[in-house]
Amino acid sequence: MENRQLTIFFDKLKQVIQDKTLIKMVLSNQRNHSSDLKSIIISIVEIKTGERINFVFRHKTNDITKNYGVEEAVLLIRKALEDDFLNADLFSGDENFRLLITEHGKVKIRSNQSLLKPASGFTHDHRKERIVATQNNVYLRELGVLNDRFEVRHNMNDKYLQINNYIELLEPFIRELDLPDGFHVADMGSGKGYLTFALYDYLTNVLGKAAVMTGVESRAELVKLSNEIASKAAFTNLKFICGTIQEVTLEKTDLLIALHACDTATDDAIYRGITSGASLIVCAPCCHKQVRKDFHATNELKSITRHGILEERQAEIITDAIRALIMEAHGYKTKIFEFISTEHTPKNLMIVGRKLSKPPARQGKQLEQIRAIKELFGVKRHYLEELFGTRSN
Ligand SMILES: C[S@@+](CC[C@H](N)C(=O)[O-])C[C@H]1O[C@@H](n2cnc3c(N)ncnc32)[C@H](O)[C@@H]1O
């Protein structure tokens, strides 16, 4: 089977293996539907003897895993596309490609970028300079994102890109702030601390600011691990404390972050940010269970919310819209946007609140809007509203 599109695709495959930007490749859409082999998942692995290409052969009832050298792997992929599968999805750091073979043997390539034009495509060494540097980056090594040679591990490419994406996204909001020396940053629900370390690194080493940062996390083992890594990285003004977002004692907070803090923990974080007068509040809500439990549409909306997934989406929209209105009522200018492709996670909304120098003239306006939304959707309670003791019905 030879074809120009196939040649382009295989050149791309070899390139992403060589550049180490291959995240994974999936061969699917069986040629023979009765075959026991359903798909093959291919990725790069590092083993003691060096790099190998890992194949997971997905059969109906079991998986078989094998490692191959690069040349052998490329031959096997070619053979699998000739004999077994019609599709190949290639995921790499910067671009994704789909190879489609029709039943008549026509080959097409789809890309999420326009890099497939022969004249401009496949230039070598196009790796982008990232905002989170890998060179001598102790925290990323300790977190397992980098290997001992400070190179991104193949299976952590996605994580590394996500960390960069997050800092790039925060950058314009942070640059807008007039932060005093020694300003305080709180990361609520810091988890393993990937983003906490990256933000501290960015603030202190890229922007040269004297930041004091605290990661708040309820899981003691993560707090211990993160404090050990902060010490190894010599991040002297970064500490992690074990406690809950609701109760932890913080000196003050100028900038508050809460990424994927579960359910109402996002509300607790917003509450802490507003009440401490934080200049910037950045949240990526996680699940929206509270409002979902507490809304019961009795009007035409019932025909929408009777579908579980639509009810879930509706709960997300109502929860976050009310959160934004409450922030606005307390003098914040808000922005809600998608911060990462839904391919990575469906929980991809970010709410950013920037404290205005002048409080709003009429706080009541937002409270009226909240009341109207609640009435329309039959929402009985919103946890953040209750924290402020301003229930609007
Ligand atoms: C999904 S993880 C996100 C971690 C990190 N922010 C990130 O985005 O990579 C949520 C973390 O928040 C912590 N958490 C949830 N509710 C909390 C609360 N009320 N107080 C403190 N930590 C909380 C969990 O233990 C978990 O580690």
pLDDT in tens, 26-46: 898 888 888 999 899 898 887
Q: Are residues 203 and 343 in the same domain?
A: yes
Q: Is residue 122 part of a domain?
A: no
pLDDT in tens, 42-68: 988 877 778 889 998 998 888 888 999
Residues 112, 89: Cα–Cα separation, whole Å: 11
Which helix (H) or strand (E) element contains residue 184? strand 184-188
Q: Which of 50, 76, 111 is the last residue of a domain?
A: 111
Q: Is residue 239 part of a domain?
A: yes
Instruction: Say yes or no to pLDDT of 116 above 70.
Output: no
Q: Sheet harboring 37-47: ordered strands across?
A: 63-68, 50-59, 37-47, 22-30, 85-92, 96-101, 107-111
Q: Is residue 102 part of a domain?
A: yes
Q: Is residue 143 part of a domain?
A: no
Q: Are residues 96 and 183 in the same domain?
A: no
Residues 88, 101: Cα–Cα separation, whole Å: 9
Calculate the average pLDDT of the chain.
86
Ligand 1: atom nearest CA of 191 is 27
Least confident residue range of 254-258, 303-307, 337-341: 337-341
Residues 21, 91: Cα–Cα separation, whole Å: 9
Q: Are residues 197 and 291 in the same domain?
A: yes
Q: Is residue 212 part of a domain?
A: yes
Does any ligand 1 atom lie closer than 6 A to the CB of residue 218?
yes
Structurally, the chain folds into a number of domains equal to: 2
Asked if residues 171 and 131 have their Cβ atoms less than 8 Å apart, the reply is: yes
Q: Is residue 137 part of a domain?
A: no
pLDDT in tens, 79-96: 999 999 999 988 886 677
Model confidence at 311, pLDDT cuts 50, 70, 90, reads: confident
pLDDT number for residue 119: 30
User: At residue 342, what is the residue type?
Assistant: T
Report the alpha-carbon angle 149-153-156, nearest 5.
145
Ligand 1: atom nearest CA of 286 is 1
**Percent share of the chain, pLDDT over 70:** 90
Instruction: Say yes or no to pLDDT of 341 above 70.
Output: no
* Secondary structure string (H, E, C) spanning 189-222: CCCCCHHHHHHHHHHHHHCCCCCEEEEEECCHHH
- Read off the pLDDT of each residue in 124-147 and give the average, rounded to a whole number: 82
Q: Which domain holds residue 56?
A: 4-111
Query: DSSP character for 78?
Result: H
Asked if residues 245 and 260 have their Cβ atoms less than 8 Å apart, the reply is: no
What CATH number is associated with residue 171?
3.40.50.150
Decide which of 71 and 96 is more confident: 71
Q: Are residues 280 and 354 in the same domain?
A: yes
Angle between the N-to-C axes of helices 265-275 and 308-329, in degrees from 0 to 180, rounded to the nearest 10: 10
- Read off the pLDDT of each residue in 311-317 and give the average, rounded to a whole number: 87
Asked if residues 150 and 137 have their Cβ atoms less than 8 Å apart, the reply is: yes
pLDDT number for residue 127: 46
Instruction: Say yes or no to pLDDT of 186 above 70.
Output: yes
Backbone φ, ψ for residue 88 (5° rounding): -135, 125
Mutation choice for ligand 1 from 170, 213, 216, 260, CB with most ligand atoms inside 8 A: 260
Q: Is residue 177 part of a domain?
A: yes
Other Cβ atoms less than 10 A from the Cβ of 186: the count is 29
Model confidence at 2, pLDDT cuts 50, 70, 90, reads: low
User: At residue 102, what is the residue type?
Assistant: T
pLDDT number for residue 353: 96
Q: Is residue 132 part of a domain?
A: no
Which helix (H) or strand (E) element contains residue 242? strand 238-242
Does any ligand 1 atom lie closer than 6 A to the CB of residue 194?
yes
pLDDT number for residue 300: 84
